Structure 1
Amino acid sequence: MENINIKQSDGAASLAKVYAIANQKGGVGKTTTALTLGEALTREGKKVLVIDLDPHANASVHMSYFPETVTTSAHDLFFDDADFKSLWGKIVKKREWVGFDFVPASIRLSELEVDLKDRKNKGMVLSNSLDEVKEYYDYILIDCPPHVGVLLVNAIVAADIVLIPIQTDFLALYGIRLLFDTIKILNKVLPSPVKFRALPTMYDGRAGACRKILNLIRRKLGDKVFSTVIHMDTKFREACASGRIIFDVDPKTRGAQEYMQLAREIVRNENA
């Protein structure tokens, strides 16, 4: 698929809202959320960009962009600061079977910890580059790596909201604590506190432990938790295995409908 041209939407007046989808525990639904929510928002008539910022490149592989064949990627954003406008036109990709635009990852993202070691304001690189494309989108979703480092910091600093998928089991709560520790550190140096919303995922209402964790999350985080809950749905695995989004497998399945509900909740909150 050829690179796309960045074109401004007719009558565009506002800048994209940036969501960093983050949790310092893997396997909680970050990539599924980034891709499925991205598609759900496009079905609500929104212009969406999804960025894979994880060196593991799970979202990219899901979208059939394999690291060994990708020549331009999110990695380039951290080096070519001479002409971001031109660079975005090269790294933004389009698949005909999804409505959103996509920026693939590179395994070289893992090298940035060393490469940017002595760079001034290294936590602001992504934020500065996103300024060049915010006018073309309604939402920008960033699939973040699970570990603390320069990539996660860049994503959080660039984000308007950190969206935290929380798997409804006890081990997932540990990853939340680590992420909150990172946010607290950033809040000491950022001009305004980091905003976040939690999304319960992989929920099974038949399991007492899941119900207990969901109640605990709601009690501790209050209105910072989305009302939408994402249940377990085998169609997610089917979609991943076929390299598609769940809407292509079965748009009426529970998981697809819940991400549509999440998209509507986000849009409604933005308009409130």
Structure 2
Amino acid sequence: MTHRITVSNQKGGVGKTTICLHLAVALADRGRDVLLIDLDPSAYLSVHLGLDEDYYEENENSLAYHLVEGSRSNPEGTILNSDEGVDVISSNYDMRGVEDRLSAERNREMRLKMFLDEVDEDYDYTLVDSPPSLGILYDNAILACRRVVIPIKDEDMSIISIHRALDEIDEIERAFRIDAEILAIVPNLVRPDGVAASTLEGLRNTDGVKEYLTPFEIRQRVAIRRAMKKRTTLYKHKPSCDQTENFEKLADLVVSKCEGDP
């Protein structure tokens, strides 16, 4: 059984890609086979892994093509290997036009699920890095995965933005008659100052949020920025960084909720 998880927040700048990539590698370190999907037209995940559209010699090999045209021959041809121990289906420039091209199509919100049904059965986990905006691709991520990890920042708008994110998931649940599970709300890019401490305290006392908030946070570290700049992760760049342990805690939490406690 493949456990599908989308790392989503309709607000940009929350470090969604960093969380998705490091969670994937932490799961792989626990012996799980992991497939990463870059559903964001900005392709930050693909860039961070050194994978770009040059890997697609033909349009038929792209994720964008399969989402728009429906599953065609050789969907496995979109899967690339990475140096991080996880497989990747990367984004390319064509993803920028997918939402417009799908707007009048039948089953437009189910295209990712239909595609994943063809490619991820041999994986333990499929992680989807979704776009930082509402729309057809965001809906596709929620409907395909049904499990969500939500990164947030330590800023005054966090409580408002997280309620908006939860409300949007509720709307998708009602509209499509599904149940979506919030696996975790993860404070990310946390700064060592009073504003961050006050924001986190507010989140931990907010009904509807505190139930999902992780007891740990991913703190700002130069090592994380340098790792991403070098197109790698902390696990290769600086495994001794104190935040590696928190990514491992997130992986343990995900495994516990998806697979059950040992």
Count, aligned residues: 254
Q: Which of 77, 85, 90 does residue 90 from structure 1 map onto?
A: 77
CA contact (8 A) 1:28 1:172 kept: no
TM-score computed with the length of structure 1 as normaliser: 0.87
CA contact (8 A) 2:71 2:115 kept: no
Task: Identify if the C-alpha distance between structure 1 residues 224 and 232 changes in structure 2 by more than 3 Å, giving closer, same or farther.
Answer: same
Matched, 1:171 2:160: no
Greater mean deviation of Cα atoms: 125-134 or 143-152: 125-134
Question: Residue by residue, what CA displacement relative to the aligned partner does 1:190-236 show, whole Å, maximum 9, x if unpaired?
Answer: 223322121111123x3121112112222221221223311111111
| Matched residue SS, 2:204 | helix
Counterparts of 1:151-170 in structure 2, within 5 Å, are: 151-170=137-156
Q: What's the counterpart of residue 212 of structure 2?
A: 224
Counterparts of 1:64-103 in structure 2, within 5 Å, are: 64-67=50-53, 70-71=56-57, 72-83=61-72, 86-87=74-75, 89-95=76-82, 97-103=83-89
CA contact (8 A) 1:57 1:67 kept: no
Tell me by how many angstroms 1:117 deviates.
1.7
| Matched residue SS, 2:103 | coil
Measured in 2, the distance between the counterparts of 1:46 and 1:253 equals 23
CA contact (8 A) 1:17 1:160 kept: no
1:156 alignment partner AA: I
Matched, 1:139 2:125: yes
Tell me by how many angstroms 1:69 deviates.
5.4
| Matched residue SS, 2:17 | helix
Measured in 2, the distance between the counterparts of 1:64 and 1:174 equals 34
Measured in 2, the distance between the counterparts of 1:27 and 1:174 equals 15
Question: Residue by residue, what CA displacement relative to the aligned partner does 1:226-261 show, whole Å, maximum 9, x if unpaired?
Answer: 233111111111101211111111112112221112
Q: Which of 45, 48, 60 does residue 59 from structure 1 map onto?
A: 45
Matched, 1:203 2:190: yes
Measured in 2, the distance between the counterparts of 1:82 and 1:58 equals 24
Q: What's the counterpart of residue 242 of structure 2?
A: 254
Tell me by how many angstroms 1:184 deviates.
2.6
RMSD of equivalent CA atoms? 1.8
Task: Identify if the C-alpha distance between structure 1 residues 127 and 37 changes in structure 2 by more than 3 Å, giving closer, same or farther.
Answer: same
Measured in 2, the distance between the counterparts of 1:80 and 1:45 equals 34
Task: Identify if the C-alpha distance between structure 1 residues 145 and 176 changes in structure 2 by more than 3 Å, giving closer, same or farther.
Answer: same
CA contact (8 A) 2:154 2:187 kept: yes
Q: Which runs of 5 or more residues in structure 1 are unaligned?
A: 1-14
1:113 alignment partner AA: E
| Matched residue SS, 1:55 | coil
Identity across matched positions, percent: 28
Q: Which of 32, 35, 54 does residue 46 from structure 1 map onto?
A: 32
Matched, 1:111 2:97: yes
Q: What's the counterpart of residue 221 of structure 2?
A: 233
| Matched residue SS, 1:229 | coil
Matched, 1:268 2:256: yes
Measured in 1, the distance between the counterparts of 2:90 and 2:243 equals 24
| Matched residue SS, 1:102 | strand
